Amino acid sequence: MSELIRFGVSIDGDLLEKFDKQIEKKGYKNRSEAIRDLIRDHLVEEEWAKDEEIVGTITVVYDHHTPDLNQNMTHIQHSFTGEIKSVLHIHMDHHNCLEVLVVKGQGHLVQSLADQLIALRGIKHGKLTMTTTGEAIPSSAGHHANGHEHSH
């Protein structure tokens, strides 16, 4: 673990107020924790952008009565058998289904799979969430090793 560094940030007062309200709702105890998570989030996205192997989930919500939709979804998924590790399907109500695909593979392939699924007619909402094993990213563990921090 590397040394803990303090740095100052100049920021618009209104913006900081909104940020503080939001992070309080999310349960952060101080700004430092929230900012560290934002930076880590950003670094994860950058790592993905470099097209390293990523893991993630693709979530789609759709009306299963939409003509051809089930067939089209199955067809696309059969083109990504290497990337799809697991599929969870929930019948939410009479019309709507929720499907969550757990995916692992090259970033551009996983993105392509998500794009194709989400673009299908009848998909009401779709989202790809990516993460990595994070080997190159310092974890949150150990950040409090140097003692308490206060959000002054």
Q: Which of 88, 79, 143 is nearest to 116 (CA)?
A: 79
Distance of alpha carbon 33 from alpha carbon 19, whole angstroms: 12
Can residue 103 be called a binding residue for Ni ion (CB under 5 A)?
Answer: no
The size of the interface with Ni ion (CB under 5 A), counted in residues, is 2
Q: Determine the interface stretch with Ni ion among 7-15, 87-95, 104-112, 118-126 (rule: CB under 5 A).
A: 87-95
Can residue 124 be called a binding residue for Ni ion (CB under 5 A)?
Answer: no
Question: Is-contact 124 69, C-beta < 8 A?
Answer: no
Can residue 123 be called a binding residue for Ni ion (CB under 5 A)?
Answer: no
Question: Is-contact 57 101, C-beta < 8 A?
Answer: yes
Out of 97, 114, 123, 130, point to the residue binding Ni ion (CB under 5 A). 97
Q: Determine the interface stretch with Ni ion among 25-33, 95-103, 119-127, 129-137 (rule: CB under 5 A).
A: 95-103
Which residue's C-beta sits nearest to Ni ion? 97
Q: Which of 97, 103, 91 is nearest to 60 (CA)?
A: 97
DSSP state of 4: P
Can residue 91 be called a binding residue for Ni ion (CB under 5 A)?
Answer: yes
Residues of this chain that interact with Ni ion (CB under 5 A) are 91, 97
